[in-house]
A and B are shown apart, each in its own frame.
Chain A
Amino acid sequence: MNTLAFTFAGQPLLAMGSGALWWPDQNLLCVSDLHLGKSERMARRGGPALPPYDNRETLTRLAGDLHRTGATTVICLGDSFDDVEASAALPEEDRLHIAALQAGRRWLWIEGNHDPGPVEMGGTHRLDWVCKGLTFRHIALPDGHGEISGHYHPKIRLNARGRSIARPAFLLDHERLILPAYGTYTGGLCSTATALTNIMAPNAQAILTGAQPRLVPMPR
């Protein structure tokens, strides 16, 4: 399993190449911004009919990470559904897929701006959740401590000997950890955007996702 180990707020954590966060001590896997139902929502609103395989792909990757880690607790860190209607309109196949993943696991849905209400799905619904000094919430607060959040879909761009490489990334400083988006149909906000440079400490670091996660100073 390709992971990168680091310590955050005193807790040993592992960043996975897929963009998931693994907390071995708690047997806990955290993923953010799944945006399930994105293609359905676009079509519903009169937009183009995107390939309707995004839920399947996202859940398949999640199933792989659950299998590899054997996690017993799962935290979906908000924007799990592209909107509340999308969660209601989820095809039976995907609903069963989620139910299968939930079986025998504690499952927390953290509310996001896209899915502010409770969804009709098994698991617990929370605004945020605290464990061993770590706070899990969707959008980082200006005064957060030991806070793990998502929302921004951070990505970074590096210039490695003339080759420009852009990848989703974890952002990390002493007080907060921002997860990349896990959903298939998600884009990214570059770490140089003011929204991210304002919130992250000057010495923040980034962990690139990919075959082997890598740590670099956060480009700003």
Chain B
Amino acid sequence: MTQIPARITDWFSAKGWSVHPHQQEMFDRAHEPATLLIAPTGGGKTMAGFLPSLTELADGDQPGLHTIYVSPLKALAADIRRNLRVPVDEIGLPIRIEDRTGDTSATQKKRQRADPPHILLTTPESLALLTSYEDAHRMFDGVQRIIVDEIHALAESKRGDQLMLALARLQTLCPGLRRVGLSATVEDPEGIAWFLSRHPDPCRIIQADPGPDPDIAMLQTDEMPPWSGGGAAYAIPAVMEQIRQHKTTLIFHNTRAQAEIFFHNLWLANDDGLPIGIHHGSLDRQQRERVEAAMVRGDLRAIVCTGSLDLGIDWGDVDLVIQIGAPKNVKRLVQRIGRANHRYNAPSKALLVPANRFEVVECVAALEAVKAHDLDGDPRGAGPRDVLCQHILTTAAAGPFQADALFAEMVAAGPYAQLTRAEFDACLEFCATGGYALRAYDRWQRLQQRPDGLWQLRDPRAAQRIRMNLGTIQDTDTLKVRLRRNRGGKPLGEIEEGFAASLTPGDTFLIGGQIVRYEGLREMVVEVSRRADKKPKIATFMGTKFATSTQLSDRILRMFSQPDWPQLPVHTAEWLALQRQMSQLPQRDRLLIESFPDKGREHLCVYGFAGRNAQQTLGLLLTKRMEEIGLAPLGFVATDYATLIWGLDAVSDPRPLFRLDALRDGLETWLAGNAVMKRTFRASATIAGLIERNTGGQRKSGRQATFSSDILYDTLLKYDPDHLLMQITREEAMRGLVDFGRIEAMISRIGDRIDLLRLDRVSPLAAPLFLEVGKVPVKGEAEERLLAVESARLMQTAGLEPH
């Protein structure tokens, strides 16, 4: 097969299109074991992926499943089905196309297993589920191609790791399977290629013409950005004006809470009553779908959104993207900008809106990085072992397996190519017996080795439980929010359980752009009414707070070293000049620490530029060290670039505080009892199969039957601290929320080049930190004291005396 059949090229011509060079190359390379296409949004990526399948299926000889398409979004699978249907029907190709996601009906799913379509569109979870059935080999018999869409997004998550393990399984079932990856612009195509291909197969990388550079600038506003905060309320009039001037504007935010506040403020300023919608992951699905549909129809002039719109679907005629708040990461910014002007070879138009003065610097640095095509990203490291454990259980659900064969299969998957046999054996041991130092489950092993050496489930009914708990997406503990009605009002979305717990009847909060009043909790549903008569609390969502990338931080530090800053707005340049005059500007190979008194307290400002998570960790570790040395710290606050600590005594010699070994020791003890660790543990324990989210047929006996995963963590910490899951938890926390890696990198880069400046008052660069929210008190007995006060107050209010 060397040519695209005339029927297909004729159809292209009839539409007035021609086959793009990268589509042709993908077609020419279709016989290779793995190909990766890097193309900007709107570059005909999907067609490039499917063209070889359409050609191979054109003669109608293929009996069963030929191509599997995997996307990270259910909606994208459905979207692609509709979009693919058009050419297939118009050309008259005898091809059956179906999607299979969590939304597909049970009957449809059953039928698909017995009689699969030619092209199946699915998600990583649904595919993994398919591989867990005993008859998987029958369904997958004869599969030729697998297309992984938005692979750049999957490669950053455990969903991608799980997918690659499922692909390894598929490859065993269908040895001739060819892999295709479709990716947005990324900094490291080789990394994605390594991720995609079966090892040691080669993977060809095809780069599409990236198209013209985007038309991107900072939004000009009359008002100056404030010194701190993330709301960007000052920019509302200017944003409103941009919405008026464009057909459809996407307004991206970094967090859901910020999106809610901004939408609320935008709505208050919307004097013309323009149709504006909001879209984020905590909104009710139906509500999100309504917004999506309105958007595709072109009914909306603007959509306030978060990362929930980062991927995939062709959202109609977006002609402007606005990013509120510093983008934190250049690669994501470029991908977001690509959402505008979906036509190939037309420049995308985007505006950045810094939320505060420091973000002006960050936005300008990001603009320069985009112009220089300097994308950022960190290598992700080896595939996590909790996903591996789940894959072992998934494999066992499909039938007895041989450990050697499974190991060989796993190390053929990119993320696990470096896996050692000892690591694999530890995971297998965990799946079989729990892997505890105390061997308690010899009678009740989950997996047993048969006399012939194969491993199998002890209780075959366990297969169903494993399938029900498959997947790596973590639901945080959220509660549904509904309007209070006689019988279940309209669902609005979800809020975090912790936030719900902090509400008392009468409190108001924002959700989906409306202010609602908390009425009460019924059967784990938050009931609200529309009576809004108070200033809203803001719903807090777990949503990730991204840390500024290493590359972007470095760019900011390089900018600081300039003699002056013609590229910055005057107010910001003056601010930096004042800092240089009063103190210093931070430098990349040195660590600047300022010490100054303010309102009778001593302050220490550490400009680490290590990103929010690492600066937060640094704050915790430094205050712990200060407490040990007797420097009486009272609290701290962290941003992406600095940590501000306040306390009773001034620090005169910072060097002992920054000894790496001491910090690492502190980390070990501090981490053990930390909430971050417990949260990380819960996620990993759930993925690895120790905690079941769904117990299905079991009786629903109320909440007292389930207990907190914190108890499991505490128990392991006390009796089995080196257990596999504790190791996984430490690894995950170190590279995730704790981000100790960036502290280590900073300290080793700086060595003893620490500059401690004693100032008589707060410096210009440190001043905004005083206004930051999220101050962390250094507490020991704090909770007990709070309870004592609260208990006394409550008893007194109730007119009660303690017995």
The answer to whether B498 and A164 touch across the interface, beta carbons within 8 angstroms, is yes
> What does the 1/0 interface line of B476-516 toward A look like (CB < 8 Å)?
00000000000000000000001001101000000000000
The answer for the CA separation of A215 and B802 in the assembled complex, in Å, is 7
The answer to whether A51 and B689 touch across the interface, beta carbons within 8 angstroms, is no
* Partner-A contacts on B (CB < 8 A): 433-434, 436, 438, 440-441, 443-446, 458-459, 461-462, 465, 498, 501-502, 504, 521, 689-692, 695, 702-708, 711-712, 715-716, 718-720, 723, 783-784, 786-791, 794-795, 798, 800, 802-803
Chain B residue at smallest Cβ distance from A35 = B707
> What does the 1/0 interface line of A42-57 toward B look like (CB < 8 Å)?
0110111111111011
The answer to whether A49 and B433 touch across the interface, beta carbons within 8 angstroms, is yes
The answer for the CA separation of A40 and B521 in the assembled complex, in Å, is 35
The answer to whether B800 and A48 touch across the interface, beta carbons within 8 angstroms, is no
The answer to whether A211 and B692 touch across the interface, beta carbons within 8 angstroms, is no
The answer for the CA separation of A181 and B802 in the assembled complex, in Å, is 23
Which single member of A49, A160, A195 contacts B434 (CB below 8 Å)?
Answer: A49
The answer to whether A157 and B707 touch across the interface, beta carbons within 8 angstroms, is no
Any B CB within 8 A of the CB of A96: no
Any B CB within 8 A of the CB of A95: no
The answer for the CA separation of A9 and B803 in the assembled complex, in Å, is 12
Most buried by B among A157, A158, A163, A210: A163
The answer to whether B719 and A56 touch across the interface, beta carbons within 8 angstroms, is yes
The answer for the CA separation of A162 and B705 in the assembled complex, in Å, is 28
The answer to whether A214 and B720 touch across the interface, beta carbons within 8 angstroms, is no
Which single member of A44, A158, A164, A187 contacts B703 (CB below 8 Å)?
Answer: A187
The answer to whether B791 and A91 touch across the interface, beta carbons within 8 angstroms, is no
Chain A proximity of B333: nearest CB distance (Å): 34
The answer to whether B441 and A52 touch across the interface, beta carbons within 8 angstroms, is yes
Q: Which residues of B contact A152 (CB under 8 A)?
A: 704
Any B CB within 8 A of the CB of A98: no
The answer for the CA separation of A83 and B802 in the assembled complex, in Å, is 38
The answer for the CA separation of A189 and B704 in the assembled complex, in Å, is 5
Chain A proximity of B143: nearest CB distance (Å): 32
A50-79 CB contacts (< 8 Å) to partner B: 50-54, 56-57
The answer to whether B704 and A181 touch across the interface, beta carbons within 8 angstroms, is yes
Chain B proximity of A203: nearest CB distance (Å): 8
Q: Which residues of A contact B803 (CB under 8 A)?
A: 5-7, 215
Any B CB within 8 A of the CB of A161: yes
Chain B proximity of A85: nearest CB distance (Å): 11
- Knowing A40-B444, A158-B787, A217-B798, the reply to whether A53 touches B703 (Cβ < 8 A) is no
Which single member of A48, A54, A153, A159 contacts B502 (CB below 8 Å)?
Answer: A159
The answer for the CA separation of A184 and B716 in the assembled complex, in Å, is 12
The answer to whether B501 and A46 touch across the interface, beta carbons within 8 angstroms, is no
The answer for the CA separation of A46 and B441 in the assembled complex, in Å, is 11
The answer for the CA separation of A157 and B690 in the assembled complex, in Å, is 27
Q: Which 6 A-B pairs have the closest CB atoms?
A: A49-B434, A52-B440, A187-B707, A6-B803, A153-B704, A46-B459
Q: Which residues of B contact A52 (CB under 8 A)?
A: 434, 436, 438, 440-441
Which single member of A40, A91, A157, A211 contacts B784 (CB below 8 Å)?
Answer: A211
* Partner-B contacts on A (CB < 8 A): 4-7, 39-40, 43-44, 46-54, 56-57, 91, 152-153, 157-166, 181, 184-190, 192-193, 195, 203, 205, 208, 210-212, 214-217
The answer to whether B712 and A187 touch across the interface, beta carbons within 8 angstroms, is no
Which single member of A7, A188, A214 contacts B787 (CB below 8 Å)?
Answer: A214
Q: Which residues of B contact A216 (CB under 8 A)?
A: 790-791, 794-795
Q: Can you identify 16 A-B contacts, CB atoms within 8 angstroms?
A: A4-B802, A7-B803, A39-B440, A49-B446, A51-B719, A51-B720, A52-B438, A53-B720, A152-B704, A161-B786, A184-B715, A189-B704, A203-B800, A208-B791, A212-B787, A216-B790
Chain A residue at smallest Cβ distance from B444 = A43
Q: Which residues of A contact B502 (CB under 8 A)?
A: 159, 162, 164
The answer for the CA separation of A162 and B773 in the assembled complex, in Å, is 14
Q: Which residues of A contact B800 (CB under 8 A)?
A: 203, 205, 217
Chain A proximity of B289: nearest CB distance (Å): 32
Chain A residue at smallest Cβ distance from B500 = A164
The answer to whether A195 and B702 touch across the interface, beta carbons within 8 angstroms, is yes
Which single member of B438, B715, B794 contacts A217 (CB below 8 Å)?
Answer: B794
Chain A proximity of B147: nearest CB distance (Å): 35
Q: Which residues of B contact A210 (CB under 8 A)?
A: 784, 787
The answer for the CA separation of A190 and B798 in the assembled complex, in Å, is 20
The answer for the CA separation of A195 and B703 in the assembled complex, in Å, is 11
Chain B proximity of A159: nearest CB distance (Å): 5
The answer for the CA separation of A214 and B786 in the assembled complex, in Å, is 11
Which single member of A51, A153, A211, A215 contacts B716 (CB below 8 Å)?
Answer: A51
Chain A residue at smallest Cβ distance from B520 = A192
Most buried by B among A43, A54, A152, A166: A43
Chain A proximity of B554: nearest CB distance (Å): 37
Chain B residue at smallest Cβ distance from A166 = B501
- Knowing A46-B459, A53-B715, the reply to whether A160 touches B787 (Cβ < 8 A) is yes
Which single member of A43, A48, A162, A185 contacts B711 (CB below 8 Å)?
Answer: A185
Chain A proximity of B446: nearest CB distance (Å): 6
- Knowing A159-B502, A163-B786, A214-B787, the reply to whether A51 touches B794 (Cβ < 8 A) is no
